[in-house]
Amino acid sequence: MTFASPRRCSDDLSTLLEDIRQAADSPADKALSLPPAAYTNRELLELEREAIFRRDWVAIGRVDEIAKPGDYMTAQIDHTPVLAARQKDGSIRVFANVCTHRAMELVEGRGSARRFTCRYHAWTFGLNGDLIAAPAMAEGFCKSGKGLTELRHEVALGFLFVSLNDNPTSLSERLAPLAERVSPYQVERMRTLRKDTLFWDCTWKVAVENGIEPYHITATHPQTLAPFAPVRNVDMEGTADGYHAYNHHYDDEQQAPQSPYYIPNTSGNNAIRKHAVAGCIYPNMAFSIALDWMWWITCQPVDTNKVRVDHGVCGPFDFKGEAPDLTDTDLFFLNVDTAFMPEDVPRVEGVQRGMESGFARQSELSPLEGTIHGFIQNYHKMLQSVV
Ligand code: FES
Ligand SMILES: [Fe+2]
C-alpha cells in the first residue's frame, strides 16, 4: 500500500500546454488522456475561448428549425448572443443578437417575425439586420450603417454553423469527407423533433469526451443505449481533419431497428441498416446517426466546472409521432433526455470532481476511446494557433 498527498493542479500554463502537446503527440496505440489540470485551469479556459470558441465553427442548430421566411432562432456562442433569420428570398443570415443602440440582447427564443423590435427603446431592425426605425432620436439621425453586425455562417449536414471569426477556414471543405460518409442516411432531410439546453457541473471537454466515445456504453448504459449501440462490433474510422467517427456494426439478428417512418434509401444502399455512425465534429460536437435518427450535442464552457449543452433529436422528415405507430426506437430517441442522458450526468459530474481532487492521473486510453485522441489532437492544434 502506498500513500500520497493530493497533487497540486498545475497552474503554470506553459507547463500545462506542454503536457497537452504530449497527449496530442502520443501514439494511437498508447494514446494518453489530457492532463487533469486541463480540466480545471482557468487560464487555459480563457485561451480556449480565444482559440476555439471565438475562432472556429460552432453549430447552433438545424436549418429546418427556421424553414420559412421570417423564421428565426437564437443561440449563444461563448458570451455572444446570436440570431439566425430566414430571409424573404429563402437564404439565411446570422447576426450578433445585440441591439446597436445600447447593446440590449435583441431577441429571445425562436419564432417567426417580419422585423425585430428591441424591448428597451424600440429600435427596430428588418429581417436583413438593417435598422429601420429609431423613435425619438434627434433630427438628422442617420439609420444607415447602424444595422446588426452580421456573422459568418455555413450549412453542412443540415446543421447551421456560425463563426465569430470574420475570416474562418472553410467548414464545408473540412466536413466533405464526413458528408460523403453519411450521405446514405440523408441527414439533411431529417427533421428537428426536439432541442433543449442543459447545464452540467463539469468542464466542456468532459462533456464532449463523454459524448464521443463508445467505451462507456456497456457499463454506463447497459439497459438503455447498449441495445441500440452494441460495442462489441465497433471500429474507428481514424482521425480526419474535421471529424472522427466510429461505426457500430449490427450482427445478423440485430440490425438497426427500423422506424415505420424510415426514409427509403434512394441510393439503394441498404448497408446503413447494418451500421450506426457516431463521433465528434471538431471542436465541440458529438453526433450519433442510426438509420433515420440523429442525436447531437454541442458543449460550450460556462466556467471551468460548468458546461452549456445544447442537444437535438432529428428524425424522419415525415415523422408525425402518432401512437400507436411509435416503435421502441422512436420512443427511445424522442426521450433521450430521460432515456440515457440521466445516466451520463452523474458520470461527467463525478469525473469533474475527480479532476479537481488532486488525485487524478493522466491515463492511457482504450482503443474504444480513439475519438478522444482525435479530439485532443484537434484541440491542441487549435490552442497552438494562438500561443
Ligand atoms: S438598447 Fe435597444 S433600443 Fe435601446
Ligand atoms: Fe453516455
pLDDT digits over 162-174, tens only?
Answer: 999 999 999 988 9
pLDDT digits over 285-335, tens only?
Answer: 999 988 778 999 999 999 999 999 999 999 877 776 666 667 676 777 778
Measure Cα distances from 236 to 28, 211, 249, 335 in Å: 11, 15, 11, 27
194/387 Cα distance (integer angstroms): 39
Query: Mapping DSSP to helix (H, G, I), strand (E, B) and coil, where does residue 199 land?
Result: strand
Specify whether the CB–CB gap between 159 and 59 falls below 8 A. Answer: yes
Indicate which ligand has the atom closest to the C-alpha of 339: 2
Most confident of the ranges 238-242, 312-316, 319-323, 380-384: 380-384
Nearest C-alpha to atom 4 of ligand 1 is from which residue?
A: 121
Taking Cα atoms as reference points, which of 234, 214, 175, 212 lies closest to residue 372?
A: 212
Residue 123 Cα: closest atom of ligand 1: 3
Specify whether the CB–CB gap between 206 and 355 falls below 8 A. Answer: yes
**pLDDT for 5:** 73
Taking Cα atoms as reference points, which of 61, 71, 282 lies closest to residue 192?
A: 61
Q: With the C-alpha atoms ordered 176, 178, 179, 180, is the resulting torsion angle positive or negative?
A: positive
Residue 102 clears pLDDT 70, i.e. is over it: yes
Pocket lining for ligand 1, CB < 6 angstroms: 99, 101-102, 104, 118, 120-123
Most confident of the ranges 81-85, 211-215, 228-232: 81-85
**pLDDT for 260:** 46
Instruction: Count Cβ atoms below 10 Å from residue 309 Cβ, excluding itself.
Output: 24
**pLDDT for 387:** 85
Q: Going by DSSP bridges, is the β-strand pair 115-117/306-315 parallel, antiparallel, or unpaired?
A: unpaired
**pLDDT for 74:** 98
**pLDDT for 264:** 46
**pLDDT for 267:** 45
**pLDDT for 244:** 84
Lowest mean pLDDT among 221-230, 256-265, 370-379: 256-265
**pLDDT for 266:** 44
Residue 336 neighbours by CB under 8 Å, 6+ apart: 295, 311, 313
74/371 Cα distance (integer angstroms): 30
**Substitution candidate for ligand 1 out of 105, 106, 118 with most atoms within 8 A of CB:** 118
pLDDT digits over 7-58, tens only?
Answer: 655 569 999 999 999 999 999 999 999 999 999 999 999 999 999 999 999 9
Nearest C-alpha to atom 3 of ligand 1 is from which residue?
A: 121
Q: What's the whole-number average pLDDT of the chain?
A: 89
Of 163 and 231, the one with more pLDDT: 163
Residue 99 Cα: closest atom of ligand 1: 2
107/97 Cα distance (integer angstroms): 7
**pLDDT for 254:** 53
**Substitution candidate for ligand 1 out of 83, 99, 149 with most atoms within 8 A of CB:** 99
Residue 122 Cα: closest atom of ligand 1: 3
Percent of the chain with pLDDT over 70: 88
**pLDDT for 9:** 54
Of 224 and 149, the one with more pLDDT: 149
pLDDT digits over 103-148, tens only?
Answer: 999 999 999 999 999 999 999 999 999 999 999 999 999 999 999 9
Residue 86 clears pLDDT 90, i.e. is over it: yes
7/221 Cα distance (integer angstroms): 32
**Ligand 2 centroid, distance to 329 Cα (angstroms):** 17
213: pLDDT confidence band, cut at 50, 70 and 90? very high
Task: Tell me: cis bond preceding 69? Omega within 30 of 0 counts.
Answer: no
pLDDT digits over 351-370, tens only?
Answer: 999 999 999 999 999 999 99
**Ligand 2 centroid, distance to 341 Cα (angstroms):** 7
Taken as a whole, the chain contains a residue count of 387
